[in-house]
Amino acid sequence: YVFRSNMSEVAFKNETDNLTRLYYEDLFVLGEKANNIRKKRFDKKVFFNLNRHINPTNICSDVCKFCAFSAHRKNPNPYALSLEEIVKEAREARDKGAKEIHIVGAHNPDMGIEFYANVFKAIKSNLPDLHIKALTAAEVDFFARSSGKSYEDILKIMRDSGVDSMPGGGAEIFEERVREKICKGKVSSKGWLEIHRLWHKMGKKS
């Protein structure tokens, strides 16, 4: 489905057949093939990213059956960090060598897109060398529904506040019958894909 927008039906089938074969490949053989591709492109160079996760809150209005993070389920200790606490954690991470801050959290009705926009602006103004990867499509959908804004409105606020890229969280399983059972109320598979499509249209990566 993701590839359909820019390739023919035949090319799409060939691509999905190739991707499907990866699931049946021996892990060690797959690793060797991947390593050969890396060596052809980069010789002996190896790349990694030093990243710090910051989860501003675990108070969530959704109740996904698989979640052990939300204070509504197995976690008995609800919390919500302040803007100052988040910036402090980002600074400490940067001082230890982090190049990227990954900010995702729960769907807290008391922490809207305006709060997060202020967080992103504060990090960019105090720590401009940090890459901000933030907010899943599920969070974008939650902010859109709770504020009455469109997906595009929320994404523009993110972009203009300093978000550099989006993570892929909130996808879970795209089959709607399964999604209805495990995370009813969360962004639909169609909505998830639309949010990422709009983000890419803005020239951003996810």
Please, which contacts does 172-180 make with residues 24 or more away whose CB atoms are closer than 8 Å?
A: 172/64, 172/66, 174/1
* Contact between residue 113 and residue 139 where contact means Cβ atoms under 8 Å apart: no
Residue located via tokens 């922490």: 111
Q: Which of 105, 46, 50 is nearest to 81 (CA)?
A: 105
3-state DSSP call for residue 48?
A: coil
The answer for residues whose C-beta is within 8 angstroms of residue 194's C-beta and 6 or more apart is 151
The pLDDT value given to residue 19: 78
Sign of the CA dihedral with 106 first, then 108, 113, and 114 last: negative
Instruction: Dump pLDDT digits (tens) for 137-196.
Output: 999 999 999 999 999 999 999 999 999 999 999 998 899 999 989 888 899 999 999 999
The DSSP letter of residue 4 is: G
Residue ranges in the chain assigned as alpha helix (H): 9-22, 27-42, 83-95, 113-126, 137-147, 151-161, 176-182, 189-201
Taking the complete model, does pTM exceed 0.85, yes or no? no
Question: In whole angstroms, what is the distance from residue 174 CA to residue 195 CA?
Answer: 14
Instruction: Dump pLDDT digits (tens) for 2-15.
Output: 444 455 666 666 77
The answer for residues whose C-beta is within 8 angstroms of residue 42's C-beta and 6 or more apart is none
Biggest CA pair distance of the chain: 53
Residue 3 structure tokens: 């590839």
* Contact between residue 161 and residue 117 where contact means Cβ atoms under 8 Å apart: yes
* Contact between residue 90 and residue 41 where contact means Cβ atoms under 8 Å apart: no
Report residue 121's pLDDT band, with 50, 70 and 90 as the boundaries. very high
The pLDDT value given to residue 25: 87
Q: Which range has the worst mean pLDDT, 61-70, 98-107, 157-166, 191-200?
A: 61-70
The pLDDT value given to residue 2: 45
DSSP secondary structure, 126-147, as one string:
H-TTSEEEE--HHHHHHHHHHH
